[in-house]
């Protein structure tokens, strides 16, 4: 049954994702491609929506993916609701269990050289997973035809220079400080949405 499959896949993602929501993107990408639940374009759109809506990114993304997978079944809207609940519960359940266990045992093992060693070993991997997500999403946005797993002749035939300019503008804006405070991410998200509406909606510039 697809809901059991969805639960198991997201339970594994929740169990092995270390470093936050962005670190899970490589595993989510592999999951949806393996089961053909979403296209790459749909996943990129969900990532944008999950980042723009209130709540934790990882949970939002799981809810959107689960809703879409459930809606594709014969259950329709009820399937969408069931799918969103299934994926959301599955992705947070491992963290909930681990946090309870860690809370109980932390005082006992916090000075353990083995625990500290494991944490020091995990940190570089977290950085790698986050960078992997950045590269994957960035390539899909700027080079839509490029597939990192299978580079072909036409992989570089379409270069989305408009998206590259938007990235080049908003990246430094995210680091600017006004009265010793960085520009709030919500403002940047809303501003980028307005830019997108003007460029791709009003002027209908083809990506």
Tens-digit pLDDT string for the chain (207 aa): 899 999 999 999 998 877 667 778 888 888 988 999 998 888 888 888 887 787 888 899 999 999 999 999 989 999 999 999 999 999 999 989 988 887 887 777 777 888 788 878 888 888 888 888 788 888 888 888 777 667 777 777 788 889 899 989 998 988 888 878 888 888 888 898 899 889 888 877 766
The residue among 162, 188, 37 whose CA lies nearest residue 46 is 37
pTM over 0.75: no
Reported residue count of the chain is 207
Burial environment of residue 119 by CB neighbours within 10 A (0 to 12, 13 to 18, 19 or more): exposed
Sorted by sequence, the CB contacts under 8 Å of residue 192 that are 6+ apart come out as: 166, 170
Q: What letter would DSSP give residue 200?
A: I
Q: What would the two tokens of residue 114 be? A: 């083995």
Q: What would the two tokens of residue 152 be? A: 């072909």
């Amino acid at each position: 049954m697809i809901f059991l499959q969805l639960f198991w896949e997201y339970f594994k993602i929740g169990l092995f994702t270390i470093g936050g929501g962005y670190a899970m993107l490589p595993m989510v990408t592999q999951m949806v491609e393996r089961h053909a639940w979403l296209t790459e374009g749909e996943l990129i759109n969900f990532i944008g929506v999950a980042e723009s809506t209130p709540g934790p990114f990882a949970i939002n993304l799981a809810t959107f993916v689960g809703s879409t997978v459930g809606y594709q079944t014969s259950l329709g809207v009820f399937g969408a609701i069931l799918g969103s609940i299934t994926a959301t519960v599955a992705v947070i359940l491992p963290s909930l269990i681990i946090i309870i266990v860690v809370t109980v045992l932390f005082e006992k093992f916090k000075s353990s050289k083995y625990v500290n060693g494991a944490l020091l070993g995990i940190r570089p991997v977290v950085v790698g997973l986050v960078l992997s997500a950045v590269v994957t999403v960035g390539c899909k946005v700027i080079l839509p035809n490029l597939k990192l797993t299978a580079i072909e002749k036409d992989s570089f035939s379409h270069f989305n220079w408009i998206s590259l300019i938007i990235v080049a503008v908003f990246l430094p804006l995210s680091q600017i400080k006004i009265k010793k405070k960085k520009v709030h991410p919500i403002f940047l998200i809303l501003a980028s949405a307005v830019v997108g509406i003007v460029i791709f909606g009003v002027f209908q510039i083809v990506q």
